């Protein structure tokens, strides 16, 4: 049973206190860890854990807090290292997602763990940025020829670069959706509204409403639902911090229309309000309705997303969770590319990639084992 | 209730649903259907308390075949932490070793409430002795030998330091022995309880020594760190115990820590206090008896002068 989502909702009430049996508290830790929300849980429950709850619970959230704080320090430092590379060639650099939330010190960044730093640069500058990053010690990750071609021709990002010494991974984007998607947001509009990041020269983050739209795009149009709940929590947190009045909400809808991003906004608002009980004004939900699917498709998606936004943990899984995730995976691909491209791509992914990935995984584990020895 | 009070069949039944054990500050459940796992746990964790099914479990781990075929054909064992598989599967006869190594990985990657150093720790006269050392330096052998001669075992691998007190916490799990050290311990200490020996692991021949009953009985009692000794086994070398500079010792200990950097400034402050308050030595030896005698004769450190307030941040 999903213990995490109801708790995150309940914890928003001011007088809330967390009380649970040892068994429930331990299950909650496992679910939060699987959802990558353990440090978020620490922030949500800060100083509001009943003394009757096992002190072991405290030990785990404390560990997550230590990890998140160290990561905050690392991110702030790494951002400046990346900025040195982009400044050298006079290119503005926009931080995206987790690293932007952390660097801006907004609520969505508290207890947000991340595995890589995402940046957005003007499309024309992408090769220069890649080269300049190389000079700073960030080298392209080895990818297969197929993937390289995929990145270059059909993607909105280039193969990730990794720092040779610190192993930090940076994803360099020139847009927020693949060029093959039916939706065509103009990245130049995003850059034009980007806001300078205090304390860093020539470093920007998206405006709050663009952060929301980008997070929605990423979640509902890229099919990466492994951390679905975490990403929905991001959207909830951004909405509750920045959509404080009527004008802000309307500005968000106007912006979605301008960027051709009504569908992702529809999905974000629908599922944030359905799953995390994010308060969204009814007339705003109505205004984005145009971006939504038909009745039957809508029902089906409600079911699929309802499953996919559970923590990815055995205690939350049913026999049909896998099916829901598979359908959403196919949906994301369908949204991302024309059908003529989709068939061959999925065939490649289904037949060739598992074989290659298994080999790579085996190598990785073998290396790790050697290190342990 | 202790694990020794169960029969092998009862242990097997527990292992089906998750055998819940407490060791030092942690609780964990183990699942797995391997006879070597059942027998080794029963033997080496005999004095550890079993927990009821409704306890808070820190680390649920299981050992399973990576796929059904691997139950029958060249059987293998895969270590799982909850649903994660951090390692490559191993031959099934390494099920217990795989559990021990896996649990070390789980603790060093998740128990960040502690600063975790890569070092053996034991206690005597209320003070802890830390033995850092790269693989092959002989810290496990020395650790097993000291435990068998009356020191209280904390750990042979993981030094758990509690910030802000700086005290070491016992982990109290079996001591891993490799290759020649197995014979050394067996011949010197007839009363040592050794698990089954597994050949041909990535580390060679491997077995584990059961923690002494006295160590398990006091596994809730931490101790301040009095001595940090860097051992080095050198064949034919005379026993030498020389003081080592604190700055150098600090760097060496920090370099071999699992999560020191995560603790940032507090980590530095705590480790600075720990190293200042302890006496640091370099020990080279070839004769185990002599080395132990020198360690037992170590004086307690002089009390450190009251601290000057640390510099403003």
In chain A, the domains with their CATH numbers are 4-337 (3.30.460.40)
Position A151 confidence tier, pLDDT thresholds 50, 70, 90:
confident
Question: Could you tell me the fold of the domain covering B113-298?
Answer: Rossmann fold (3.40.50)
| Structure confidence at residue B14 (pLDDT) | 95
| Structure confidence at residue A373 (pLDDT) | 47
* Overall average pLDDT of the B67-77 stretch: 88
Position A230 confidence tier, pLDDT thresholds 50, 70, 90:
very high
- Residues B164-179 pLDDT 10s: 899 999 999 999 999 9
Beta-carbon separation of A62 and B27 below 8 A: no
Q: Enumerate the residues of chain B whose CB falls inside 8 A of the CB of residue A26.
A: 56-58
Answer yes or no: is pLDDT of A22 > 90.
yes
Q: What does the DSSP assignment read for chain B?
A: -BGGGS-HHHHHHHHHH-EEEEETTEEEEEEE--HHHHHHHHHHTTTSBB--TTSPPSEEEEEE-SSTHHHHSS-EEEEEETTB--S--EEGGGHHHHHHHHHHHHHHHH-TTSEEEEEEEEEETTEEEEEE--TTSSHHHHHHHHHHTTPEEEESSEEEEETTTTEEE----PEEEETHHHHHHHHH-TT--B---EEEETTEEEEEEPPPHHHHHTTT--B-EEEEEEEEE-TTPPPEEEE--HHHHHHHHHHTBSSGGGGHHHHHHHHHHHHHHSEEEEEEES-HHHHHHHHHTPPPPPPPPPPPPPPP-
- Residues B275-294 pLDDT 10s: 999 999 999 999 999 999 99
| Structure confidence at residue B135 (pLDDT) | 77
Answer yes or no: is pLDDT of A241 > 90.
yes
* Overall average pLDDT of the B241-269 stretch: 94
- Residues A201-225 pLDDT 10s: 999 999 999 999 999 999 998 766 7
A69 shares contact with chain B (CB less than 8 Å): yes
CA B202 to chain centre: 19
Answer yes or no: is pLDDT of B307 > 70.
no
Lowest model confidence (mean pLDDT) among A42-46, A161-165, A193-197, A320-324: A320-324
CB atoms within 10 A of CB B82: 17
Q: Enumerate the residues of chain B whose CB falls inside 8 A of the CB of residue A54.
A: 56
Which one of A57, A66, A362 has the shortest CB-CB distance to B262?
A66
In 3D space, the residue among A68, A52, A43 whose CA is nearest the CA of residue A18 turns out to be A52
| Structure confidence at residue A142 (pLDDT) | 81
* Overall average pLDDT of the B110-120 stretch: 96
Which residues touch A323 (CB under 8 Å, ≥6 apart)?
Answer: none
Share of chain B above pLDDT 90, in %: 85
Answer yes or no: is pLDDT of B309 > 70.
no
ipTM for the predicted complex comes to 0.92
Q: How far does the CA of residue B83 sit from the closest CA of chain A (Å)?
A: 8
CB atoms within 10 A of CB A182: 13
| Structure confidence at residue A224 (pLDDT) | 64
| Structure confidence at residue A344 (pLDDT) | 76
Residue with tokens 């709940």: A229
| Structure confidence at residue A124 (pLDDT) | 93
Which one of B27, B58, B262 has the shortest CB-CB distance to A70?
B262
* Overall average pLDDT of the A38-52 stretch: 95
Position A149 confidence tier, pLDDT thresholds 50, 70, 90:
confident
Answer yes or no: is pLDDT of A337 > 80.
no
Lowest model confidence (mean pLDDT) among A144-148, A180-184, B45-49: A144-148
- Residues A284-329 pLDDT 10s: 999 999 888 888 888 999 999 999 999 999 999 888 888 888 888 8
Higher per-residue pLDDT: A105 or A364 = A105
Answer yes or no: is pLDDT of B221 > 50.
yes
Lowest model confidence (mean pLDDT) among B24-38, B65-79, B279-293: B65-79
Answer yes or no: is pLDDT of A155 > 90.
no
Q: How far apart are CA B25 and CA A59, in angstroms?
A: 10
Closest residue of A to B204, CA-based? A373
Q: How far apart are CA B224 and CA B202, in angstroms?
A: 35
> Residue A174 gets which letter from DSSP?
S
Closest residue of A to B202, CA-based? A373
| Structure confidence at residue B258 (pLDDT) | 93
Chain A interface, best mutation among B29, B88, B136, B263, by max A CB count within 10 A = B88
| Structure confidence at residue B16 (pLDDT) | 93
| Structure confidence at residue A369 (pLDDT) | 66
Position A372 confidence tier, pLDDT thresholds 50, 70, 90:
low
Position B305 confidence tier, pLDDT thresholds 50, 70, 90:
low
Residue with tokens 């909830």: A236
Share of chain B above pLDDT 70, in %: 97
Answer yes or no: is pLDDT of A354 > 50.
yes
Residue with tokens 């016992």: B170
Beta-carbon separation of A362 and B105 below 8 A: no
Answer yes or no: is pLDDT of A243 > 70.
yes
Closest residue of A to B84, CA-based? A34
| Structure confidence at residue A126 (pLDDT) | 93
Position B312 confidence tier, pLDDT thresholds 50, 70, 90:
low
Answer yes or no: is pLDDT of A147 > 90.
no
Instruction: Kindly tell me the sign of the dihedral angle through the C-alpha atoms of A288, A292, A298, A301.
Output: negative
Answer yes or no: is pLDDT of A62 > 90.
yes
| Structure confidence at residue A324 (pLDDT) | 87
Q: Enumerate the residues of chain A whose CB falls inside 8 A of the CB of residue B88.
A: 362, 365-366, 368-369
Spell out the domain ranges in chain B.
Answer: 1-111, 113-298
Answer yes or no: is pLDDT of A358 > 80.
no
| Structure confidence at residue B295 (pLDDT) | 96
């Amino acid at each position: 049973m999903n213990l995490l989502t109801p708790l995150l909702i309940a914890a928003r009430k001011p007088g809330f206190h967390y009380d649970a049996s040892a068994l429930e508290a331990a299950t909650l830790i496992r679910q939060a860890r699987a959802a990558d929300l353990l440090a978020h849980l620490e922030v949500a429950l800060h100083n509001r854990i009943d003394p009757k709850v096992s002190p072991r619970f405290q030990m785990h959230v404390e560990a997550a807090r230590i990890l998140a704080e160290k990561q905050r320090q690392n991110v702030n430092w790494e951002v400046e290292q990346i900025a040195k590379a982009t400044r050298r060639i006079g290119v503005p650099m926009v931080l995206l997602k987790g690293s932007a939330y952390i660097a801006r010190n907004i609520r969505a960044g508290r207890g947000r763990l991340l595995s890589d730093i995402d940046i957005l640069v003007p499309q024309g500058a992408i090769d220069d940025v890649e080269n300049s990053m190389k000079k700073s010690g960030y080298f392209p990750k080895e990818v297969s020829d197929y993937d390289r071609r995929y990145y270059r021709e059909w993607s909105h990002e280039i193969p990730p670069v990794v720092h040779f010494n610190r192993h930090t991974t940076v994803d360099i984007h020139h847009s927020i959706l693949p060029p093959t998607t039916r939706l065509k947001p103009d990245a130049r509009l995003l850059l034009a509204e980007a806001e300078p990041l205090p304390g860093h020269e020539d470093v920007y983050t998206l405006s709050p409403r663009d952060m929301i739209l980008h997070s929605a795009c990423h979640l509902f149009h890229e099919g990466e639902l492994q951390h679905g709940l975490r990403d929905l929590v991001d959207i909830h947190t951004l909405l509750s911090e920045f959509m404080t009045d009527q004008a802000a909400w309307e500005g968000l809808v106007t912006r979605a229309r301008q960027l051709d991003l009504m569908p992702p906004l529809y999905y974000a608002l629908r599922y944030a309000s359905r799953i995390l009980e994010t308060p969204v004004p009814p007339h705003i939900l109505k205004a984005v309705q145009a971006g939504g699917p038909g009745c039957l498709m809508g029902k089906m998606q409600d079911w699929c997303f309802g499953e996919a936004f559970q923590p990815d943990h055995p205690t939350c899984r049913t026999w049909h969770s896998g099916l829901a995730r598979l359908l959403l995976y196919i949906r994301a691909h369908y949204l991302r590319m024309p059908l003529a491209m989709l068939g061959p791509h999925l065939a490649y992914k289904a037949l060739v990639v598992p074989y290659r990935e298994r080999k790579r995984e085996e190598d990785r584990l073998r290396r790790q084992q050697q290190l342990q020895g | 209730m202790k694990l020794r009070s169960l029969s092998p069949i009862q242990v097997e039944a527990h292992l089906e649903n998750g055998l819940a054990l407490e060791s030092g500050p942690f609780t964990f459940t183990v699942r797995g259907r391997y006879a070597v796992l059942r027998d080794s746990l029963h033997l080496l964790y005999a004095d550890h308390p079993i927990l009821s099914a409704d306890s808070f479990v820190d680390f649920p781990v299981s050992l399973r075949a990576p796929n059904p075929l691997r139950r029958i054909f060249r059987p293998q064992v895969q270590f799982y932490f909850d649903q994660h598989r951090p390692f490559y599967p191993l031959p099934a006869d390494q099920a217990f070793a795989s559990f021990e190594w896996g649990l070390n990985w789980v603790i060093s990657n998740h128990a960040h409430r502690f600063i975790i150093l890569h070092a053996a720790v034991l206690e005597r006269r209320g003070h802890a002795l830390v033995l850092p050392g790269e693989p092959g330096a002989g810290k496990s052998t020395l650790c097993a030998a000291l435990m068998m001669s009356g020191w209280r075992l904390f750990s042979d691998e993981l030094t758990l330091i509690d910030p802000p007190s700086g005290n070491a916490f016992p982990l109290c799990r079996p001591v891993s022995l490799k290759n020649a050290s197995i014979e050394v311990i067996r011949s010197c200490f007839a009363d040592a309880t050794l698990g089954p020996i597994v050949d041909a692991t990535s580390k060679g021949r491997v077995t584990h020594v059961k923690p002494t009953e006295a160590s398990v009985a006091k596994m809730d009692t931490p101790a301040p760190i009095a001595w940090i000794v860097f051992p080095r086994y050198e064949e034919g070398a005379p026993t030498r115990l020389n003081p080592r500079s604190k700055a150098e010792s600090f760097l060496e200990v920090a370099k071999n820590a699992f999560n020191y950097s995560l603790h940032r400034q507090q980590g530095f402050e705590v480790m600075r206090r720990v190293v200042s308050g302890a006496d640091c030595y370099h020990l080279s030896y070839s004769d185990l008896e002599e080395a132990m005698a020198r360690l037992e004769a170590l004086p307690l450190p002089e009390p450190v002068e009251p601290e000057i307030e640390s510099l403003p941040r």
